Amino acid sequence: MAEPGIASEPVTGIVIVASLTKQFGSRLAVNQISFAIAQGEVFGLVGPNGAGKTTTVRMLATLIPPTAGSASIHGFDIRKQPTQVRRYIGYVPQALSADGDLTGYENLLIFAKLIGIPPAERSKQIEEILAVMELTDAAHTRVKQYSGGMVRRLEIGQAMLMRPSVLFLDEPTVGLDPVARGTVWELLHSFRQQYPLSILITTHYMEEAEALCDRVAIMNHGRIVALGSPGKLKAATGQPGATLEDAFRFFTGGDYEEEANYNELKRTRKIARRLG
């Protein structure tokens, strides 16, 4: 639920989430969150590591079942109709998914086979994705020789091979330097102009959310504590010249963990080293 001062909006859209909850043993990772994503919208889940962002995306991507609540994509229930849901989504996890010992083209070819792209269409679609991702010249180079930004572009391209209407990006720029991060931002902006695509992005970089997102949900301790456009969230603080970071502190009241837990921090550093 949004904090006072942030307008609540009707729960309608391509993605509809209602009281979604996930519990791991005694730990409540996601606690009754609700939001919707409209067609063509970029929606951000922001907050510190451990806030519940990745768990939320993994539920929506049908990788783990919710404990309670519901969510649907294009009217299909994530729990009851996961096969139908997967036809509409692309998913780029935080952890690296590309095989470094294969070339960019080979990674895309394997994925094209897995998702059932007809043999006669594979080469054309792969070449189109490589061109959009500006990876044509590196198509036949092993991915282990790619820069971090190139790896991320390849993984986003892999997800786009499905021609999804909803793209889930879980911390897509973690471990990237500022230049590579900016390149990913530009790529996502271009997608919005070329495809009828809705995007859900998770990030703990507030400047990233402000640059990319139409609306943002601030998550903390498994809950959504505020939801609105970056402009509305900043204005609600009452501080002239407030940043989204200021809004985050305002809505959480400073009650958040500055760092990830040990396993999350270890994973993030491992990703950063591999993207190097």
Q: Is the pLDDT of residue 196 over 90?
A: no
Residue 59 token pair: 């539920």
Q: What is the pLDDT of residue 5?
A: 40
**Rounded CA gap, 188 and 57, in Å?**
18
Residue 44 lies in a domain: yes
Higher pLDDT, 166 or 185: 166
Q: Render pLDDT for 237-276 as a digit per residue (tens, 0 to 9).
A: 999 999 999 999 999 887 655 444 434 444 554 555 455 5
Q: Which residues touch 179 (CB under 8 Å, ≥6 apart)?
A: 149
9/5 Cα distance (integer angstroms): 12
pLDDT at residue 267, rounded to an integer? 54
Tell me the per-residue pLDDT of 131-149, one tens digit each, with 9 for 90 and over.
989 999 999 999 999 998 8
The structure's pTM equals 0.86
Instruction: Give dist(CA 70, CA 22) in Å, integer.
Output: 11
In a domain, 9, yes or no: no
**Strands annotated E in 11-59:** 15-24, 27-37, 42-46
> What pLDDT is recorded for position 266?
45
pLDDT in tens, 86-99: 999 999 998 888 99
Whether residue 268 lies inside any domain: the answer is yes
Residue 121 falls inside a structural domain:
yes
Judge whether 2 lies within some domain. no
Domain tally for the chain?
1
The domain that holds 157 is classified in CATH as: 3.40.50.300
Residue span of the structural domain in which 257 resides: 15-275
pLDDT at 11: 57
- Residue 209, in any domain of the structure: yes
156 confidence band (pLDDT: 50, 70, 90) = very high
Instruction: Give the E-state strand segments of the chain in sequence order.
Output: 15-24, 27-37, 42-46, 68-73, 76-77, 89-92, 166-170, 198-203, 215-220, 223-228
Q: Is the pLDDT of residue 102 over 60?
A: yes
Assigned domain for 10 exists: no
Alpha-carbon separation of residue 32 from 2, 44, 76, 223 (angstroms): 12, 17, 20, 7
pLDDT tops 80 at residue 9: no
- pLDDT reported for residue 1: 40
Q: Is residue 3 part of a domain?
A: no
